[in-house]
Copies of this chain bind each other. A is one copy, B any other.
Amino acid sequence: MNSLEKKIAYLGPPGTYSEQAAEEWNNGYELLPLESIPAVAKSVENGEAFQGVLPIENSIEGGVTFTLDLLIHDSSLSICGEVIVPINHYLMAHEEIALSSITTVYSHPQSLGQCRQFLLKNLPQATLVASLSNAKAVEEMLLADPGSAAISSERSARLYGASVLQKNVEDNPNNETRFVVLSHSDHEMTAHDKTSLCFEFDGDSPGILSESLTEFASRNINLVKIESRPNKRRLGRYVFLVDIDGHRKTQEVGEALDALRSKVSMLKIFGSYPKCDT
């Protein structure tokens, strides 16, 4: 493995919460900021990076659908770990200005969503403009007129030299994002693991989903998460994404997955990895 392969890719530019997650995860590897979620996955697939860190779920806004759909449809990478980062949004501008004189607010749409009430209450006059990342929002704001503001991390305010107008503008203080680490293989068994997978059924059957979940419940395997995504072929047809406690190499998880496989039309196991406590 050469030094190129020892990079860890993340959704850049520097200053994003993804960079923070990658720094928390990494063990001295070089960080590689990339411009999109697919680009991070691709860099791991083609060996440019060793691992890739991607946001998968926020405690307020829910699943990061771009990452979920990539795992389901467009990637054969495994999940080898997870990182949870607390999210604190800062409102920033070129320099100190009154909130009432702000005409435009730049941020990632998910961050705008997380500050919805704050924006409605304090900046009802402002036009909201979506950016591809929170860090990009600060760059764009600094290139726009002085009535512009951005919502981003403290980290990116420091990095780009923006002036913080107000701290913690997120509506809900319980704001955390979970990131997954993608690699060519998942993680060896530890004492405290989870397993992520997705599956799909052919056709309708009143009991098929609850029967499938019973394969976990009857073996006393805790269901940590269930989410559905459209299968993209027909309205009302879904792919189910499930996280369960335990490593796929344990006997009970292995048996449950075998039993599940016999009921579904598609089963994809993203991997087993040590669980972060929430």
Contacts and interface: CB of A to CB of B under 8 A. Distances in A.
A222 B60 CA distance: 30
Interface stretch (A90-98, A146-154, A234-242): A234-242
A59 interface: yes
B109 A235 contact: no
A216 B206 contact: yes
Interface size grouping (class) on chain A: 35 or more
Interface in A86-138: 109, 113, 128-130, 132
Contacts of A204: 222
Interface in A139-177: 172, 174, 176
Nearest to A109: B109
A269 interface: no
A265 interface: no
A62 B235 contact: no
Contact of A172 (B218, B226, B232): B232
B230 A58 contact: yes
Interface stretch (A11-19, A42-50, A184-192, A207-215): A207-215
The A interface is mostly helix, strand or loop, or mixed, namely mixed
Contacts of A230: 57-62
A109 B230 CA distance: 17
Contacts of A209: 213, 223, 226
Contact of A235 (B57, B222, B232, B234): B57
Contacts of A238: 225-226
Contacts of A218: 207
Given A210-B210, A210-B214, A214-B214, A234 B130 contact: no
Contacts of A41: none
Contact of A61 (B59, B61, B65, B128): B65
Interface centre among A57, A129, A235 (most CB of B within 10 A): A235
Interface of A: 57-62, 65-66, 84, 109, 113, 128-130, 132, 172, 174, 176, 178, 204-207, 209-211, 213-214, 216-218, 220-230, 232-236, 238, 240, 278
